[in-house]
Structure 1
Amino acid sequence: MSYRFMRVLVMFDLPILTSEQKREYREFRRFLIKSGFLMLQESVYCKLVLNKTTADTVLSNIEKNKPPEGIVQVLVITEKQFSNMKLIVGNLKKDIIDTDERIVII
């Protein structure tokens, strides 16, 4: 068996208008976490798998546990493609004053 590490990316957009939809959202999220997925962003989860066969098994488990409403998208990429991901960060807000310049000693 050949080991070619791959990543399974799960992106989902689920409705949360009713209490039942919220429950289904929480259950799907818990399923992903228990299955070994890590959150990359809100509603974007990632899991490392050994090869394409394992990725197909993970995909079938996701299909079995998907919520009845909403969109769930799955992308399987190689570890090399995943490692080429670029992280682009915007400007940091500095609204929080974290210095001691405003301390008043009585």
Structure 2
Amino acid sequence: MKRERLNAYRIMWVFVSFDLPTYTAEERKNAARFRKELIKDGFRMFQYSSYVRHCPSSDNAAVHVRRVKAILPEEGNIMIMTITDKQFSMIECFSSAPVHHEDCEYSTLSLFDGIDD
């Protein structure tokens, strides 16, 4: 059995971006259901109406793409994009809003928390 090494070219990210109608109560319900199903499948919000999921391989990414296709609402626009971890690492993010680190979902370890100067 050949063992594949994990690297930035084999690890994948699946992006799902959507623009769903929300004019009626039924449309809002369908949009919320779609979003909740994405979260249940392990997707995390990247931006508003844009969710991302880390996958250890392209085969695993294909599984999640199929799952998204199985829950597509009847109306709206949905885009699914799969990229490598290397491509994901080259994304540049810009924001005019100040960053509030306490709100970040992905936190980093701080070696000096609690040490008073």
The TM-score, its normalising length taken from structure 2, stands at 0.74
Name which one, 1 or 2, has greater alpha-carbon Rg.
1
- SS of the aligned residue for 1:10 comes to strand
- Count of residues in correspondence between the two structures: 92
For the aligned residue pairs, the C-alpha RMSD in angstroms reads 1.3
* SS, match of residue 91 in structure 2: coil
Task: Pick the aligned partner of 1:68 from 47, 68, 74.
Answer: 74
Per the alignment, residue 86 of structure 1 pairs with: 92
- For 1:63 and 1:14, the matched residues in 2 are separated by 15
Q: Secondary structure at the match of 1:26?
A: helix
Name segments (4+ residues, structure 1) moved above 2 Å.
Answer: none
Residues 29-60 of structure 1, C-alpha deviation per residue, up to 9 Å, x if partnerless?
00011111010110000000011111111111
Corresponding residue for residue 48 of structure 1: 54
Q: Which runs of 5+ in 1 are unaligned?
A: 93-106
- Pair 1:9–1:91, CA change in 2 (3 A): closer
Task: Please name the residue that 1:5 is paired with.
Answer: 11
Percent of pairs with identical residues: 34
CA distance in 2, matches of 1:91, 1:32: 26
Aligned to 1:20: 26
SS of equivalent to 2:80: strand
Is the alpha carbon distance of 1:91 and 1:11 closer, same or farther for their aligned partners in structure 2, counting shifts above 3 Å?
A: closer
User: Aligned AA for 2:32?
Assistant: R
Distance 2:49 2:97 in 1: 23
How does the TM-score come out when normalised to structure 1? 0.81
